């Protein structure tokens, strides 16, 4: 399981299951996203999205739970990135100086 796969399923769900729109927003290809979703589903042994032909029709029950956890994981990843940025840029921030006379 890769973070990129989690990001793909998360973004597909945010784009109303439209893989083409998701690919465009992520600057990648639709077949690449579809393949990564399939690989994740194969690894997990569950379908995240139900399909009708080549189209995604809805999120499965298992998929809804996977998406909830994926959202939490992606949120934690962003928190880690922000934390790392704070520590790598020690000159940023605010300085308050108070004096008394």
pLDDT tens, residue by residue, 4-59: 999 999 999 999 999 999 999 999 999 999 999 999 999 999 999 999 998 999 99
> How do the domains of the chain map onto residue ranges?
3-77
pLDDT at 11: 97
Q: What is the pTM of this model?
A: 0.83
Burial class (CB within 10 angstroms; exposed 0-12, middle 13-18, buried 19+) of 80: exposed
- Quickly name the fold that domain 3-77 has: Arc Repressor Mutant, subunit A (1.10.10)
In which band, very low, low, confident or very high, does the pLDDT at 98 lie, cut at 50, 70 and 90? confident
């Amino acid at each position: 399981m890769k973070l990129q796969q989690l990001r793909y399923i998360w973004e597909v769900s945010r784009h109303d299951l439209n893989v083409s729109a998701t690919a465009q927003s992520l600057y990648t290809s639709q077949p690449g996203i579809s393949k990564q979703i399939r690989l994740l589903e194969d690894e997990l042994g569950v379908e995240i999205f139900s399909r009708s032909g080549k189209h995604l029709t809805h999120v499965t029950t298992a998929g809804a739970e996977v998406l909830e956890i994926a959202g939490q994981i992606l949120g934690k990843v962003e928190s880690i990135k922000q934390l790392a940025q704070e520590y790598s840029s020690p000159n940023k921030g605010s300085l308050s100086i108070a004096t008394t006379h």
